[in-house]
Structure 1
Amino acid sequence: MSRRRVLAGLLLLPPAVAGCALGRAAGPTEPDPLIALADAARADAALAAAAVATDQGLASALQPLVEARTQHAAALDAEVARLNPSRPTPAPSPRPSGRPGRAEVQQAVLASGRAAGDVALGLPPERVGLVASVAACCSTYAEVLT
């Protein structure tokens, strides 16, 4: 093949395909949005556990939330690992300082539910179900804790 033919062929390709054919990267990739959701799930679980440690009377209301948010973190981490197996395992969230109560947990879970709902809107169909169920669970717990 002549150089002219190769150049003419590249001109006919869409720019993104031509860039890949020439070995150029498409640009920096953004971090997986599920990483932030998994981190928030770990933080919510730690906050709720700290609230239970502060006030054992909250155990019946918050222990199911601790378990649910721990499961959310594991499921979100598994989905991130499915698409990026080389990502290191995340560290557990540090225990929150202070003496959190029901209101702080409710606010955190409400924010997590909103964040998950926002993220779900931009995800491909195969990931929406997981993130939408996390959003629904968080919103429900926030309402229960009101």
Structure 2
Amino acid sequence: MKLNQYVAILFSLLLFIPNSQAEINLKQCKIYKMNYIIFDESDSQIVENIIDHQLYNQPDIRENTVIKIFTNDNSEDRNYWLASFQLKDQNYLYLFYQVDENKFTNINQQQFETLLPKIVGCNANQEIPIYSENFYTD
């Protein structure tokens, strides 16, 4: 009888252990049917905020980091931004940014790979970031 009680207690405790991965729910993107992509000053400010947040405004690190930032091609539907940073030592950092909440979330590679198709799913070319730096370096 005590074994059943211990199993029940253990099961109850497992239900209350918080999940270590960030829970991120995204709204479906709006399809963009234009042949061009708008990248304006507000987008540029968002990109700089993302880079500064992750690299802490360190130009020497930024210069040697491959940065790729993704969002929806539709300029009216750019609430979610996703960034990958490949550092000089070949380590990767990933960041999710939600504009309407001004919220940055550090994520792991698995979360990045899960979120990327959801964010760029409506883009004409889903593999090309909306912004990149040092992407074509030798």
TM-score normalised by L of structure 2: 0.29
Q: Work out which of the two has the higher radius of gyration on C-alpha atoms and give 1 or 2.
A: 1
Which protein has the bigger strand share?
A: 2
TM-score normalised by L of structure 1: 0.28
